[in-house]
Structure 1
Amino acid sequence: MSSHCSISSSFCQLIGSFVQLAEWSRGHEELLTTEPIPPTDPVPADVFEGNRRVTGTGNRNPATLVWRVIPNGSLLAYASAFEAEGRTWLLTSDLMIVPADRVRAVKRSQFKGKELGKGLELPLAWNRTHGPKPKYRRDDGGGFTPAGAVPGKTPVAIKDERVASGKKSYYELRDEPGVFVDEADMTFTRARKDLPRGVTPGGKWIEVKILPGTLTAYEGTRPVYASLFSPGKGGVPVPGHDHTKYATTAIGYFPIEWKDLNATMSNEKYGEPKVLWFSEVPHIQYLRAPLAMHVAYWHEDFGNPKSAECVNVSALDGHFLFNWTEPALPEGWGGIRPGGGNGPSTPVIVSAN
């Protein structure tokens, strides 16, 4: 399995603080580490003969020292880390050698949604911030006083009834009678009662809501998985505006067109990307290319707008959804499209709210 790292000159200085390149990179520092990447593997014998590189063709000529310059903001995946000539080097999946002291490693996000059933059902109230949000207990006078907290990026099961108190509204927790959360502090996942047009009874489908930042997987009208995702940072799309230019996630009904186990992603349309790329992005599900639902291993702020236009999910959520949706990817395959004997396509329905 590959690990991921980010270029130090783009996300942070080799020694110093994170430098944000532009609005699109806000939050990318959340998972960066400052610890050096240690060598954990032997020098790859199939790449080197003694100290001489023997692999590579075309632009990857072994006689050429520099194969490629990695631009600011890009991220790469590496398969191994080894020591040679007093430095640690990273071997990428396309057999590039990268000096480890010029990059910062990216920690693996631990964020994961919730499988529903077996005692956990909708509705859920999510704290989509990183910090805690207070819980409240209702006192004898009808007021609400703080009583604990909901951790960041965490859901709690709530009752359906909204309780008004002055200008505020609260929801009681199902598992903590008499304890409430403030409606203004939370974002909500509620079950849809009817099937959307185009979804077969009992069929799999995914509901994606831009403003609350919620994603729910269904089998028919039964919700089976709930999580947070990151839509385009441009917010709700404006009719007639280009989604890529304005970084908005398109609204509509999108049967999955194609699934890639992993791939390099870039907004450059032709040839090898040179301006910006994220390598080895796992579990990509194209909805209407370039719109895709895919893992974003470079941030952990799911529930809030972060993407260029795609549906960003965590690594753990992406793994679940990729294996849950149809068509299923056969063992050993790198990608699949629906139809032609491969099976049906799971629709993803994106709405503003």
Structure 2
Amino acid sequence: MRGHAHRYVRSVIRSGAHRCGGLVDRCRGSHYPPSILAMRPAPALLLAFPLATAAAASAGSEIGASPFLPASVLVRPERALAYRGPDAHGSRRGTVVGGQRLPAYRMAPGPGCSSVWVEVYAEGWVCGTDLVASPLAPDAVALPELPAGQITPYPCAFAGEEGAPIFARLSDAAIEYSERWLEGGFAIAVRRKVFYQGQRFYRTAGGLYVRASDVFLARPSMFHGEEVRDRERLGWTFRPSTRVYDDLPDGGRVSFSSVPRQTAFRLTAEHDLDGVIYLQTTGGKYVRASDLRRTTYLDPPAPVGPHDVWFDVDTSQQVLVVYRGEEPIFATLVSSGRRQHATPHGTYRVWAKLISGRMANEEPEDPDEKPYYLEDVPWVMYFNDDIALHGAYWHGAFGQVRSHGCVNLAPLDARWVFDRAQPALPRGWWSILPSPDDPGSLVRVR
């Protein structure tokens, strides 16, 4: 019997049976819970990670059982909330990850915690009920720990055009019983691969199962940006095929070769031939300026320190430049919002960072828009309410407008940017919000 009357997102996500990082992002244009924006910069859903209890420490004691500060604390649940002070009604600082052994700096009583609060990071307090005291030294690791060759926090898989049944238990698959359905083009995160009765299944973040033959694994783009040296200009092709000339085509026959989209060039000079601009490359070749996405370097929109890292998004060129102080250090192609979802111009600051989260627009208001559902979108950096810089594993069209308002980066670039954006993500943490003493990086969109 096949009972897949319900859409996967409505029957699983909205019921709370499935939680994937606690992030629901529209990147403009979807049904976005207003409670998130109302609570900025501490959105409830953004940081409400699952709190299923993890395995207890092999050696440890309850927080508060001793008046002395423990050598470290072990996080009990899969995710636990951290606050800027010892008060559950105060501003949130981020989330810590189960099984991580964190330092313990101070303990203090406070509202919203039946135990005592423990400061595990500067302005990062976790309730003692989510922790176990440990006599061992802190050994939290930088997350996520990726297997060789993997460039996103988790592999993700898409349903084909016909969709795919989702099973609550492997035994349900044996009788083809499914009350949930993954719609075509929707993506789930693969936490584990399992075999059952000769078939391979993927276990999702919510503990559900999808038959591997019913979905296909995402193959994220391996494109990446380039280091900027001495403010040199960079350019990338963005058409399927672009001519690269061996000499300036000034009326005579000139040999040329063709290169694919996203080929990078370092540019040295500009030549105007009867109104057509050609750019010379470091290799002595020539490319039409109109065939390239190019970097332009500007002064920061606000005072920055000499070591402050900030980001400049040029939507006309679909290029992001990373600066340290006033000097550009890195540049790459992006995909910003298209048509009515154009990424808003302005100057902002990163107000939340998380390793990955869910982005969805199940029921678009515009009938011409297609619904989407994407688990574990990687390397998310919010800067303008629900608009973020983040990695995209579902397309490789960087250099072209594409998104619903966010700024898409190739996963390798998104990780590079994420690792340098402020506030820094502490070891053992999944998400971090800034504080007055630890502000977010500046982002300019123009």
What TM bracket, shorter-length normalisation?
0.7 to 0.9
- Matched residue SS, 1:277: strand
Q: For residue 66 of structure 1, report the CA deviation from its aligned partner.
A: 3.6
Q: For residue 294 of structure 1, report the CA deviation from its aligned partner.
A: 0.7
- Matched residue SS, 2:254: strand
Match of 1:298 in 2: 394
What is the CA–CA distance in structure 2 between the aligned matches of 1:295 and 1:148, rounded to whole Å? 32
What is the CA–CA distance in structure 2 between the aligned matches of 1:317 and 1:323, rounded to whole Å? 10
Match of 1:229 in 2: 334
- Matched residue SS, 2:429: coil
Gap runs ≥5 in structure 2: 1-152, 364-370
Does structure 1 residue 182 correspond to structure 2 residue 288?
A: yes
Q: 1:146 to 1:133 in 2, by over 3 A?
A: farther
Determine if contact 1:287/1:293 at 8 Å carries over to the other structure: yes
Match of 1:3 in 2: 155
Percent identity, please. 26
Match of 1:263 in 2: 357
Q: Deviations over 1:199-256 (max 9, x none)?
A: 344421100011210000001221111000001121xxxxxxxxxxx22111111100
What is the CA–CA distance in structure 2 between the aligned matches of 1:164 and 1:116, rounded to whole Å? 25
Match of 1:277 in 2: 373
Determine if contact 2:250/2:273 at 8 Å carries over to the other structure: no
What is the CA–CA distance in structure 2 between the aligned matches of 1:181 and 1:282, rounded to whole Å? 34
Q: 1:139 to 1:310 in 2, by over 3 A?
A: closer
Match of 1:72 in 2: 184
What is the CA–CA distance in structure 1 between the aligned matches of 2:356 and 2:442, rounded to whole Å? 20
Q: How does 1:145-294 map to 2 (within 5 A)?
A: 145-159=254-268, 161-173=269-281, 175-177=282-284, 179-192=285-298, 194-234=299-339, 246-267=340-361, 276-294=372-390
* Equivalent position amino acid for 2:309 in 1: K
What is the CA–CA distance in structure 1 between the aligned matches of 2:344 and 2:249, rounded to whole Å? 48
Q: 1:287 to 1:67 in 2, by over 3 A?
A: farther
Match of 2:243 in 1: 134
* Equivalent position amino acid for 2:238 in 1: R
What is the CA–CA distance in structure 2 between the aligned matches of 1:143 and 1:220, rounded to whole Å? 46
* Equivalent position amino acid for 2:347 in 1: Y
TM-score, normalisation: structure 1: 0.73
Q: 1:10 to 1:313 in 2, by over 3 A?
A: farther
What is the CA–CA distance in structure 2 between the aligned matches of 1:289 and 1:72, rounded to whole Å? 29
Q: Deviations over 1:34-73 (max 9, x none)?
A: xxxxxxxxxxxxx98xx769xxxxxxxxxxx646322333
Does structure 1 residue 333 correspond to structure 2 residue 429?
A: yes
Kindly name which structure, 1 or 2, has the bigger radius of gyration based on alpha carbons: 2
Determine if contact 1:231/1:309 at 8 Å carries over to the other structure: yes
Does structure 1 residue 345 correspond to structure 2 residue 429?
A: no
Q: Which moved more, 1:65-74 or 1:316-325?
A: 65-74
* Equivalent position amino acid for 1:345 in 2: G
What is the CA–CA distance in structure 2 between the aligned matches of 1:140 and 1:164, rounded to whole Å? 11
Does structure 1 residue 111 correspond to structure 2 residue 223?
A: yes
Q: Deviations over 1:251-304 (max 9, x none)?
A: 1111001001111112469xxxxx642101111000122111111110000010
Q: For residue 99 of structure 1, report the CA deviation from its aligned partner.
A: 1.1
What is the CA–CA distance in structure 2 between the aligned matches of 1:319 and 1:10, rounded to whole Å? 33
Determine if contact 1:195/1:201 at 8 Å carries over to the other structure: no
What is the CA–CA distance in structure 2 between the aligned matches of 1:80 and 1:257, rounded to whole Å? 32
What is the CA–CA distance in structure 1 between the aligned matches of 2:199 and 2:171, rounded to whole Å? 16
Does structure 1 residue 122 correspond to structure 2 residue 122?
A: no
Determine if contact 2:220/2:396 at 8 Å carries over to the other structure: no
Q: 1:171 to 1:312 in 2, by over 3 A?
A: same
Does structure 1 residue 307 correspond to structure 2 residue 403?
A: yes
- Matched residue SS, 1:322: helix
Aligned length: 281
What is the CA–CA distance in structure 2 between the aligned matches of 1:10 and 1:128, rounded to whole Å? 32
Q: Deviations over 1:113-158 (max 9, x none)?
A: 11223xx8520121023x3311113369774723334432121011
Match of 1:316 in 2: 412
* Equivalent position amino acid for 2:205 in 1: S
Q: For residue 82 of structure 1, report the CA deviation from its aligned partner.
A: 2.3
Q: For residue 165 of structure 1, report the CA deviation from its aligned partner.
A: 1.4
What is the CA–CA distance in structure 2 between the aligned matches of 1:276 and 1:156, rounded to whole Å? 35
Match of 1:23 in 2: none
Q: Deviations over 1:296-317 (max 9, x none)?
A: 1100000101101100011101
* Equivalent position amino acid for 1:228 in 2: L
